[in-house]
Structure 1
Amino acid sequence: MINRSIYIATVSLLISACGGGNSYSNTQKPIDPIVDDSAFRAEIRRGEYGMVHIKANDYAGIGYGYSYAFAEDNICTIADVYVTVSGERSKYFGPDASWTMTGNGTTNNNLNSDFFFKLINAEQRVENLMAQAPPLGPLPEAQALVKGYVAGYNRYLRDVGVENLPDPTCRGASWVRPITELDVYRRFYQLALLGSSAVAINGIGSAQPPGPNSLSANTSSPEQIAQQLGEAWQGIQIGSNAIALGSDATANGKGMLLGNPHFPWDGAERFHQAHMTIPGTLDTTGSALFGVPMILIGHTQNLAWSHTVSSAWRFTPYQLTLVPGDPTSYLVDGQPEAMLAQELSVELADGTAVSRTLYSTRWGPVLTEILGLPVFPWTPAAAFALADANALNFRYLNHFVETNRAQSVRELLAIMQRNQGIPWVNTIAADSNGEALYADISVTPNVSDQKALECASPLGVATANTLGLPVLDGSRAACAWDNDADAVQTGIIGPDNMPWLIRRDYLTNSNDSYWLSSPEQPLEGFFRIIGDEGTERRMRTRLGLLMTKQRIDGSDGLPGTKFTRQQMQDLIFNNRHMAAELWLDDLLQLCAVTPGMIGAGGPVQTAEACAVLASWTRRDDLDAPGAVLFRRFVANLFISDVPTGTAASGFGFADVWTTPFDVNDPVNTPSGLNIANPHVQYALASAISDLQGNGIPLDASLRTHATESRGEAKIPMHGGPGGYGLFNAMSNTWSNSDAGYNDVVHGASFVQVVSFDGDECPDTQTILTYSQSTNSESPYFADQTEMYSRKEWVAGRFCEAAVAADRRLSSMEISE
């Protein structure tokens, strides 16, 4: 437990040593940087594009000012979240409706969702974590941020009134209400589970014991289930890129960072941009996920960091052997254990209630499906429970409290090792000293490769081999997760056994495992549950590595051999298309000898389409004819369920390469398009039919046929699907109409390039691609989206002089 008086005294000495300590109101009294006094007060300054600058004497004031400004921008979206985590969606939106957790792509029935969260709340998981002393529970700073956040949010509702909310989406809605600290912590907990239990909300919230006529086993084979799980997991629509440069890779010999998270454009897993300052104590800027009053991706004066979704698994299913004749009891080492029955009730709009009993085991709650797949049936003989490593994780709050003050990658590394709270992402960082960091020190079940094999259930043999996901035997106590001496939490891998690397050239990650973050120094020898090694990388990963290396060795055709800040900005928006670089030459050879092909739409002539592709720039820029056609070709190439009876049936994506993967050349292999594979012809012919059948010209550009709706406006979107080899990932939905691709599902979100130039003010450029507000009537609803379309950036305003120079700056002080 932290001694509060010693902590405050230490911080005060540090403030004095740094010459800090003055608040925004110029008070000269010594301050408590956690809670200055009983009142909440903050200065809220609004800059260009809705940028929020919060200045306060203490952490409570930061939370107070930030939540007030955040509510101005996004009150409806976050109010919906508080309904969700309270288990009240059925009451306000109906039990049969559904909602999507855009951060993991799952669609959840309201009633199942309510029971899922009612179970969490009945078990008082959040309250128990709140009551823990640090590091397991929240630091005093985090507690103060939450107190201030609640006060600021509720102050906004009092000032404006629910009936007068600026966003018509929830104006006057009964489900918009004042919040409590518990509401805020429940949102924190929901985010901690995003990559684990939250992918099984339906499967946990609806799990019921089998009836007398239930099936005795799953009809799919373990190999088929493993394949289904793998495809579904790949379909989770979150990802990211990040490049950290050290002194050997930058023109000025300082560090530089590109942060490029690919998060959803809709829903609550969006970013909100802010700058938070407690003079002498805190000065950090960047973005926060909705409902979190901390900078999660951003920079301080000397450190910049970003995150990419990690390849590690955060959970392991356990297969239970049930007691014969008693489907709510299971055997462990031959002895029966009764499941814990939790009787729950969900209120409906008419005042009636629905009751359901959910069951938990020593391993976790019983589930029946995951990611919409009913692959864990509860039968008279067997059931499955979900063990979640993040079920005890509030440490990520402490991690970000400390990171928001950190000034070097080595300090950041120590924060990760000390808190072990990062729930589901890698960390990539650079500092003014010229060091770059990659680390996957994240919350991961401690299951060695040997244990995954020795404790594998029948399904686990298949999933461990193909996915690295252990499905363990719940009938043996010895199959519990192992413990590392250096782990803060029992059952997770300790930091000494997680991958990390510090270098002075470059480190990258684009959602593949840790293995190739540096091709010059591959990370190897870690448990398979963290990620794979020596295997093929995604095309997006390969392009990021290729472009970085080409800039450093000067083979990209640009002047010099090291990065400037502008060159890093140009790299992310150059819209190079890796699939085109690898395949288009071969595809054009196929065109030259095959004037007619048969695809999903029947026979087509290829001459016009091939001429378009031959003149295409191989970049997904707005005015590059051929980009839409090639995107449809790749989309059809990825389709594995080619109709039987066609020449392409029985062939698929796995057969498209001519040069296979070479572990000694992982950036450049595999390569080449196998035009002898009938699936290639089928994909091109289908792409031609896709466009012609919808009245879209074969030379259509993204400017006219890849757009994002903002009210009545259609904003053109450059970039393209990361899975197709676009580093500038931007995934629109194919509408199967003359519109082509419209409305972004996920992709580049809060993009930042941070360069340290040796002075007190980092040289930063950012773009929040979907803009700052979800309110369609806000001036910040589409402004940055339009800028992204034009490849424009927002200049960072970190130092006080830069903030004050903002011509659009407005200011207000609030207190209570």
Structure 2
Amino acid sequence: MWKTVIASLLLVTSAPVASAAGPEQVPHVVAAHHRGLGDGIGYGQAKAHLCDLAKLFTEFAADPQFRDLERREVVEAIVAQPPPVGPTRQARDLVTGYVQGYNRYVARNPRCGARPITEAELYRFNHVAFNEGIFRAYEGIWPSPPKEVKERGSNTIAVGAGGTSGGRGVLLGNPHVPWRGMVSFWHARLTIPGKVDVDGVTVLGMPVVFNGYNRGVAWSATVSTASSYTLTRLRLVDRHTYLVDGKPERMIDRGTHWDTRYGPVTRKIRTNPHLTGDEMTPLPWTDTEAYAVTDLAADRLTTLNAAATFLEARTTDDLKAGLDRFGGTVRTNIIAADRRGQTLYAGIQVVPDVRTDCVVDQGFLDRTGVAIVDGTRSACRAGRLPVDRMPWIASDTYATNSNSSHAFVRADKPLKGFPRVFGDENIANLRTEFGLQEIPRHLGRFDAGVMRKLVLENRNTAAEKHLDSMPCVRPECEVLRKWDRRNEVGSVGALLFDQWFAAGGTEKAFDEVVARLGPKIHQPLGENQYVVRDGGKIPLHGGPGSSGVYNLINMDWKKQEVSDGSSFVFAVEYTDRACPTAYTLMAPARPDLYGAKRWQKGALCG
């Protein structure tokens, strides 16, 4: 049926057409080519999120780094080059189309201060978004700190023929991104007849799919622990002159920041692994010492090119080939399962190749995963690590990631011995521990139903692991003794425990939390953890990452809104049928369905 519809639409127009597909009214973009697909993505994102996009493009156009890139035409020079440095034909067409579609919607719906954008602007936005080092730097590059960045993370489980009930691949994707604002998702089905048919999500301002599936392969991205940049320590002869190989070099005054051969100088860096500003490390800038950010993704469009290949992938091998060809992504793992029953974990991403004798602060590297290298020797400037030295594993059993390092992809086969810049190989977070304990229990029985239950059973890993040994002697402790140790809507005790555990789990912390919460400690979680839509409260299950709740929900308690957490949750099972069995929950768009655990059939075969 859908082929007939597409054929008739293409007879009418070569431009993409959006139509409803499924009970969530998922837009269906149908186009004859990638440029038309990009047009539909740009138009659809604008239709659903115009005010967020208008703010995004306005704020990026105003920031110092963006203005500097524009003035020097840095990104234009990259775009003018052939791949793998410049964009592939697919990436170029997606960007051209996106700008056309976005501008067409803006012209018809002038509001929120939206204005037309150019291709150069969209390339600059994607370039800056995937330059992790510059993104993390404060003071020096930015005249004042950027606004708070919400936490990002994810869970993904891929199970192959050796672990599924049907002998083919099954995937759970559970990305954790902000529910609102400039880093949120847009969900759509994207079709180029005979080439592309994908159900998935794009990040606002980006025309590529990091989380989705087609008839052959399903994939999801998780934020990794790897660093794509180094800090370079400069020895100064005065505040703006540094030494390289014994010769003085003058910093370049860009008007917005001071630049060096190693990158811009900064005085503060975010070292929290989840991209937030929760952990800030000050860096000195004196007459004798300064630090520059050397971002290994700053001279090419690595991530955009690699992700553009995902649309036409048919197998996990295809995904791996796209990553290998362009050098991977930036701080993103890709986990996938296909209809053949193969799985993939690929920690293939832009990572610096650092010489051991060039590291000047081993303790900083051990603590943060970021290398500080000696800027007095030009030979110490890091290059990009070759992809054949990066962690990845393909198998017919399973692979998982929940934002711990590559070492915790498999309980039975840890990947170890990789450079520290990839992440800590010894410490796993609580969500990772939960996954590695649960997955082996279900091997041989995995299907879409098992995945759906596992991701939303709301077990509180921290409580299961620590509550019985935590000091609790007050009468209010009875609330926790009766608690089911889950973060369900009706769970009484979850709110008390989560806030107590996050505050340190001490007797003093317990007293403070009880005093702050008052009668709320006796209320079901859903009476306090909810969002408001159309004037009505929608109770939400799930819990914070600090408690290791797999179904992560982080609340902004002042705004009574989810700051980030389970967003596009999807479970895909390949069978002997041509189309996979798939279920999705687009939580930010339909918190009522999410709160009720009411899964929707995937849009691909609707």
TM-score, structure 2 as length reference: 0.93
Residues 1:398 and 2:342 aligned together: no
Residues 1:275 and 2:176 aligned together: no
**Aligned mates of 1:440, 1:26 — CA distance in 2:** 39
**Aligned mates of 2:341, 2:281 — CA distance in 1:** 49
For 1:196, what is the secondary structure of its paired residue? helix
- Report how far residue 192 of structure 1 moved: 0.8
Q: Is the 8 A contact 1:319 1:473 kept in 2?
A: yes
- Report how far residue 154 of structure 1 moved: 1.8
Q: Cα 1:306–1:342, aligned 2, differ >3 Å: closer, same or farther?
A: same
For 1:205, what is the secondary structure of its paired residue? coil
Of the three residues 551, 556, 572, the one matched with 2:455 is 572
**Aligned mates of 1:23, 1:203 — CA distance in 2:** 55
Unaligned runs of 5+ in 2: 271-276
Q: What is the match of residue 205 of structure 1? A: 142
For residue 52 of structure 1, what is the amino acid of its counterpart? P
**Aligned mates of 1:499, 1:330 — CA distance in 2:** 36
For 2:349, what is the secondary structure of its paired residue? coil
**Aligned mates of 1:610, 1:205 — CA distance in 2:** 47
Residues 1:85 and 2:23 aligned together: no
**Aligned mates of 1:479, 1:122 — CA distance in 2:** 29
For residue 404 of structure 1, what is the amino acid of its counterpart? L
Q: What is the match of residue 508 of structure 2? A: 682
Q: Is the 8 A contact 1:116 1:201 kept in 2?
A: no
Of the three residues 373, 376, 387, the one matched with 1:475 is 376
Residues 207-606 of structure 1 aligned to structure 2 (within 5 Å):
237-323=151-237, 326-343=238-255, 356=256, 358-371=257-270, 373=280, 375-448=282-355, 451=356, 454-457=357-360, 460-481=361-382, 491-533=383-425, 535-552=426-443, 561-587=444-470, 590-591=471-472, 594=473, 606=474
- Report how far residue 493 of structure 1 moved: 0.8
Q: Cα 1:153–1:697, aligned 2, differ >3 Å: closer, same or farther?
A: closer
Structure 1 moving runs of 4+ over 6 Å: none
For 2:521, what is the secondary structure of its paired residue? coil
More divergent stretch after superposition (710-719 vs 498-507): 710-719
- Report how far residue 315 of structure 1 moved: 1.2
More divergent stretch after superposition (72-81 vs 367-376): 367-376
Residue identity over aligned pairs, in percent, reads 35
Of the three residues 95, 99, 122, the one matched with 1:150 is 99
- Report how far residue 362 of structure 1 moved: 0.9
Q: What is the match of residue 626 of structure 1? A: 493
Q: What is the match of residue 722 of structure 1? A: 545
CA RMSD of aligned residues (A): 2.2
- Report how far residue 24 of structure 1 moved: 4.9
Q: What is the match of residue 72 of structure 2? A: 123
Please give the per-residue CA displacement for 1:475-517, whole angstroms capped at 9, x wherever unaligned: 1112111xxxxxxxxx111111000001212111000100020
For 2:435, what is the secondary structure of its paired residue? helix
For residue 331 of structure 1, what is the amino acid of its counterpart? L
Please give the per-residue CA displacement for 1:689-713, whole angstroms capped at 9, x wherever unaligned: 2222xxx343221111112233533
Q: Cα 1:26–1:360, aligned 2, differ >3 Å: closer, same or farther?
A: closer
Q: What is the match of residue 502 of structure 2? A: 635
**Aligned mates of 1:333, 1:82 — CA distance in 2:** 41
Residues 108-119 of structure 1 aligned to structure 2 (within 5 Å):
114-119=63-68
Residues 1:742 and 2:560 aligned together: yes
For 1:336, what is the secondary structure of its paired residue? strand
- Report how far residue 203 of structure 1 moved: 3.8
**Aligned mates of 1:342, 1:203 — CA distance in 2:** 11
More divergent stretch after superposition (196-205 vs 264-273): 196-205
Q: Cα 1:145–1:467, aligned 2, differ >3 Å: closer, same or farther?
A: closer
Q: Cα 1:24–1:285, aligned 2, differ >3 Å: closer, same or farther?
A: farther
Please give the per-residue CA displacement for 1:43-64, whole angstroms capped at 9, x wherever unaligned: 2112332411011111121122
For residue 545 of structure 1, what is the amino acid of its counterpart? L
**Aligned mates of 1:201, 1:187 — CA distance in 2:** 18
Q: Cα 1:709–1:577, aligned 2, differ >3 Å: closer, same or farther?
A: same
Residues 60-209 of structure 1 aligned to structure 2 (within 5 Å):
60-87=35-62, 114-160=63-109, 162=110, 165=111, 170=112, 173=113, 176-193=114-131, 195-206=132-143
**Aligned mates of 1:201, 1:183 — CA distance in 2:** 22
Q: Is the 8 A contact 1:40 1:148 kept in 2?
A: no
**Aligned mates of 2:152, 2:139 — CA distance in 1:** 20
Q: Provide the aligned length of Structure 1 versus Structure 2.
A: 591
Q: Is the 8 A contact 2:189 2:200 kept in 1?
A: yes
Q: What is the match of residue 760 of structure 1? A: 578
**Aligned mates of 1:689, 1:728 — CA distance in 2:** 28
Q: Is the 8 A contact 1:708 1:717 kept in 2?
A: yes
Please give the per-residue CA displacement for 1:86-138, whole angstroms capped at 9, x wherever unaligned: 22xxxxxxxxxxxxxxxxxxxxxxxxxx2222122223221112111012111
Q: What is the match of residue 610 of structure 1? A: 477
Q: Is the 8 A contact 2:14 2:31 kept in 1?
A: no
More divergent stretch after superposition (751-760 vs 427-436): 751-760
**Aligned mates of 2:68, 2:309 — CA distance in 1:** 32
Q: Is the 8 A contact 1:204 1:369 kept in 2?
A: no
Q: What is the match of residue 781 of structure 1? A: none
**Aligned mates of 2:560, 2:414 — CA distance in 1:** 39
**Aligned mates of 1:574, 1:61 — CA distance in 2:** 41
For residue 242 of structure 2, what is the amino acid of its counterpart? Y
- Report how far residue 23 of structure 1 moved: 4.8
Q: What is the match of residue 813 of structure 1? A: none
Please give the per-residue CA displacement for 1:442-497, whole angstroms capped at 9, x wherever unaligned: 0111115xx2xx2233xx2320232232111111112111xxxxxxxxx1111110
For 2:92, what is the secondary structure of its paired residue? helix
- Report how far residue 370 of structure 1 moved: 2.0
Instruction: Pick the structure with greater CA Rg.
Output: 1
- Report how far residue 748 of structure 1 moved: 0.7
- Report how far residue 74 of structure 1 moved: 0.7
- Report how far residue 794 of structure 1 moved: 1.6
Q: Cα 1:748–1:619, aligned 2, differ >3 Å: closer, same or farther?
A: same
For 2:571, what is the secondary structure of its paired residue? strand
Q: Is the 8 A contact 1:304 1:754 kept in 2?
A: yes
**Aligned mates of 1:250, 1:794 — CA distance in 2:** 22
**Aligned mates of 1:24, 1:402 — CA distance in 2:** 28
- Report how far residue 258 of structure 1 moved: 0.5
For 2:240, what is the secondary structure of its paired residue? strand
**Aligned mates of 1:198, 1:523 — CA distance in 2:** 29
For 2:268, what is the secondary structure of its paired residue? coil
For residue 59 of structure 1, what is the amino acid of its counterpart? H
For 1:74, what is the secondary structure of its paired residue? helix
**Aligned mates of 1:393, 1:236 — CA distance in 2:** 26
Q: Is the 8 A contact 2:530 2:561 kept in 1?
A: yes
Q: Is the 8 A contact 1:439 1:499 kept in 2?
A: yes
For 1:41, what is the secondary structure of its paired residue? coil
Of the three residues 587, 596, 599, the one matched with 1:769 is 587
For 2:543, what is the secondary structure of its paired residue? coil
Q: Is the 8 A contact 1:24 1:55 kept in 2?
A: no
- Report how far residue 76 of structure 1 moved: 1.1
Q: Cα 1:252–1:374, aligned 2, differ >3 Å: closer, same or farther?
A: closer
For residue 511 of structure 1, what is the amino acid of its counterpart? N
- Report how far residue 425 of structure 1 moved: 0.5
Q: Cα 1:536–1:141, aligned 2, differ >3 Å: closer, same or farther?
A: closer
**Aligned mates of 2:54, 2:328 — CA distance in 1:** 26
For residue 280 of structure 1, what is the amino acid of its counterpart? G
**Aligned mates of 2:41, 2:245 — CA distance in 1:** 53
